[in-house]
Amino acid sequence: MPEFAQYVNHGASLVTPNVVEKLLRHLPLWKAEFTQIHAPKYPHLVNQLEFLANAVEDFAEGAYKDLPYTAFAAAVFALTYAHKKYDFIPDMLPDWGRADDSSVVRAALIQNEKAFAKYAEAHKITWSKITSQP
């Protein structure tokens, strides 16, 4: 997992206002696409992606200002990575296609657990339902 944490940190460091602007334009469609993910080996992935998408939207719109920028950037990177169809493990591979997506998302959540748990509490979301498990 340390490799994924480093990968997320590096990816988050490359998040610019332009990257955020592009993500926000596409995020409604991506959220709909995320709900269609069928990944029984990663049962929390869809909820985790929805959670990160909502946190990104709320921060970008100024509706939630307590999210540290590092957590925001990690979430932006994780969402962008999960949206890619061809990444370390192509999404179309049965059973394992979402393993890398899940690992990137979990790394973003784990590294910023306090910030995201605080966001969840502020929005009356049960953090244990989001969880940092696969």
pLDDT at position 99: 85
Distance (Å) of CA 111 to CA 12, 60, 70, 75, 116: 12, 20, 10, 11, 10
Indicate the range of 25-39, 77-91, 120-134 predicted with least confidence.
77-91
Nearest Cα to Cα of residue 51 among 20, 79, 85: 79
- Give 53-74 pLDDT, tens digit per residue: 999 999 999 999 999 999 999 9
pLDDT at 131: 77
| pLDDT above 80: residue 134 | no
pLDDT confidence of residue 77: 97
Where helices occur in the chain by DSSP H, the ranges are 2-13, 17-34, 45-60, 69-83, 99-111, 113-122, 127-130
pLDDT in tens, 92-106: 666 776 888 999 999
Helix (H, G, I), strand (E, B) or coil at 10: helix
Quote the percentage of the chain above a pLDDT of 90. Answer: 72
Tokens of 86: 């061809």
Mean pLDDT, rounded, of the chain? 90
